[in-house]
Amino acid sequence: MAARTLAEEGISPLVLEKGRDFGQKACSEVMREVRYGFPILPWLDRGVIEEEFEEVELIFHGKTFRIPFAKPHPLRRWIREPSPLLLVDRGRMERGLAKRASAYGAVIRLGEEVRRVERKEGHLLLNGEIGAKLVIGADGALSLLRRFAGERLRNLGYGINIKMERKGGKGLRVFVDPKIIPLGDAWRFAGGRKENVGI
């Protein structure tokens, strides 16, 4: 989304994506319709939204809670803007955003990764060849750019997820229960024909 926004504002970004295809990010298929007052729907192409959910089912130490996201509820005080949750096709979403960003002048290179960052006079030099005044790091928990900026990683958790054919009903379920997983949480995001399950 950052590349598309910059491109539409007349700044021609260069995107380096280490994956050889779009949609490889883990655990990021659920998003809210509105984020920080910013509507997401106008940015998404047709067919990106697989399902829209009004609530999440939270299984917490054997007890089940239904937490609505589209209206006020005491269990979700921390969310300022009530809006439904969207289960998206991550690959289709990223391809659509990349296509629109490219139409405005963004250059997107798949299969390329930032491996080295150097501070130069008035800019940063990436991989010894790309100069940039502005660098946005969306490179995950072990971010090279965050380390370069002096930010330390305080906590790190490992997870695994799998996408498979949907078994059972649709819905968003989050488990915080030591009987299911001793430390951490697990999820089941089930939409159309597929579901994303992970810990």
Exposure letters 137-167 (e unless 16+ CB within 10 A, then b): eeeeeeebbeebeeeeeeeeeeeeeeeeeee
- The SS3 call for residue 94 is helix
Instruction: Reply yes or no on whether the pLDDT at 143 is more than 90.
Output: no
Question: Do 56 and 69 form a contact (C-beta atoms < 8 A)?
Answer: yes
Instruction: Indicate the average pLDDT of the chain.
Output: 86
Name residues whose C-beta falls within 8 Å of residue 36's C-beta, 6 or more positions apart in sequence. 81
Instruction: Reply yes or no on whether the pLDDT at 164 is more than 70.
Output: yes
Confidence of residue 77 (pLDDT cuts 50, 70, 90): low
What string of DSSP letters covers 32-45?
Answer: ESEETTEESGGGPP
83-93: pLDDT as tens digits: 788 898 888 98
Q: What is the pTM of this model?
A: 0.78
